[in-house]
C-alpha cells in the first residue's frame, strides 16, 4: 500500500466511449503525475500538476484530458481513444515538483481499447 489509489483497476472501452480514470493520494503531497506504461518501454510522462496547476504536458493527444480539482485528486478523462492507447496508466505523487523527490505510485489502470 503506497498511499496512492487508482480506480478502476481494469477498463475495456470502445473507440467511441468516454470514460474517466481517478487517482487519489493520502500522503499530503503537492505534485501529481500521469504516466503511460507499455510493455517493454520506459514509463512515458503524460501530465504533471504542482499545487493543482498543470506544469507539464508532454505532447499528449487531446483525446486525453487531465483534471486536478485539488492536491489530493487527479483525473484523466478519455474520449475517442485508439487501440494503440491500450496500456497501463499509472498515477504518482511526490512532495513537490522541481526536486529530486521520490515518486509514489498507484497500482495503475489496465486500459484496453477495442
Partner 1 sequence: GQNIDQPTEMTATEGAIVQINCTYQTSGFNGLFWYQQHAGEAPTFLSYNVLDGLEEKGRFSSFLSRSKGYSYLLLKELQMKDSASYLCAVTDSNYQLIWGAGTKLIIKP
When the beta carbons of 25 and 85 are compared against partner 1, the nearer one is: 25
Cell numbers found for residue 80: 475517442
One residue of 103, 109, 111, 113 binding partner 1 per CB under 8 A = 103
Using CB under 8 A as the binding rule, whether residue 97 contacts partner 1 is answered as: yes
Classify 56 as helix, strand or coil: strand
How far is it, in rounded angstroms, from Cα 2 to Cα 81? 29
Is the alpha carbon torsion for 63, 42, 101, 90 positive or negative? positive
Classify 31 as helix, strand or coil: strand
When the beta carbons of 64 and 89 are compared against partner 1, the nearer one is: 89
Q: Which of residues 19-58 bind partner 1 (CB under 8 A)?
A: 40-43, 45
Q: Which region among 19-27, 59-67, 79-87, 102-110 touches partner 1 (by CB under 8 A)?
A: 102-110
How far is it, in rounded angstroms, from Cα 100 to Cα 85? 29
Question: Which residues of this protein are in contact with partner 1, per CB under 8 A?
Answer: 2, 4, 40-43, 45, 90, 97-100, 102-108, 110
Amino acid at each position: 500500500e503506497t498511499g496512492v489509489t487508482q480506480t478502476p483497476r481494469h477498463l475495456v472501452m470502445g473507440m467511441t466511449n468516454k470514460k474517466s480514470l481517478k487517482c487519489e493520494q493520502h500522503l499530503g503531497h503537492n505534485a501529481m503525475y500521469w504516466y503511460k506504461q507499455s510493455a517493454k518501454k520506459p514509463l512515458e510522462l503524460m501530465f504533471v500538476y504542482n499545487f493543482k496547476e498543470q506544469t507539464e504536458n508532454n505532447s499528449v493527444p487531446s483525446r486525453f484530458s487531465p483534471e486536478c480539482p485539488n492536491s489530493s485528486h487527479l483525473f484523466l478523462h478519455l474520449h475517442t481513444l485508439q487501440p494503440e492507447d491500450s496500456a497501463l496508466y499509472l498515477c504518482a505523487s511526490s512532495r513537490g515538483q522541481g526536486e529530486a523527490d521520490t515518486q509514489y505510485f498507484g497500482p495503475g489502470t489496465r486500459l484496453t481499447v477495442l
